[in-house]
Amino acid sequence: MTTTRTMIHVASGQIVCHPGDVEGNLIQIEELTRLAAQAGVRLILFGEAALTGYLLTERVVEQAIRSDSPVIDRLRRLAAETGTVVVPGAFERSTEGLHVSQFVVCPGGDVLVQRKYNLTEDEKRRMVPGSLERLMFPVDGVTTAVGICADNDTPDIHRTTRARGCRLWL
């Protein structure tokens, strides 16, 4: 029996996040993504709420990103330009309310939104949980999923995503 292995280059981008400064945080994400792409990276993951900053203050919450915002358009252009899947976290505002989310922005223009399921007590007071089910997406033929912070402690989440074909858990 022959085993086929696929290798993808993945990076973790760490910015100096300024809470509420979406423009400044986005500039850093763009710079790091371009550098990573030059090194052959195919997927770059940024931290929870890297775009907005992770503080539950009014100033930061007001900066929550909508999936149809100009910020997402810039991330689409960045992903297309670099050929890199860009995965930044942000507070997100949807029709259901406020979420802690990771945007998965693909080079072909698709944008998936994974919302945090296991909210902290502080988050529960202001945020709406996402679905327990993980969205999956391919990166160079490798089925990938995103866990956000406490979601990684959800019983059986790794087993169930693996059973659905996930090979890379971020």
pLDDT at 8: 87
Question: For 131-160, what is the mean pLDDT?
Answer: 93
Q: Quick one: which of 117, 108, 153 has its CA closest to 135?
A: 117
Query: How much is the pTM?
Result: 0.94
Round to whole Å and give the CA distance between 29 and 13: 7
Per-residue pLDDT, 2: 61
Proportion of the chain above pLDDT 70, given as a percent: 97
Mean pLDDT, all residues of the chain: 94
The DSSP code sequence of 102-166 is EEEE-TTS-EEEEEPSS--HHHHTT-----SSPPEEEETTEEEE---GGGGGSTTHHHHHHHTT-
**pLDDT tens digit sequence for 26-75:** 999 999 999 999 999 999 999 999 999 999 999 999 999 999 999 999 99
pLDDT for the residue numbered 117: 96
Domains, in order of start, for the chain: 10-169 (3.60.110.10)
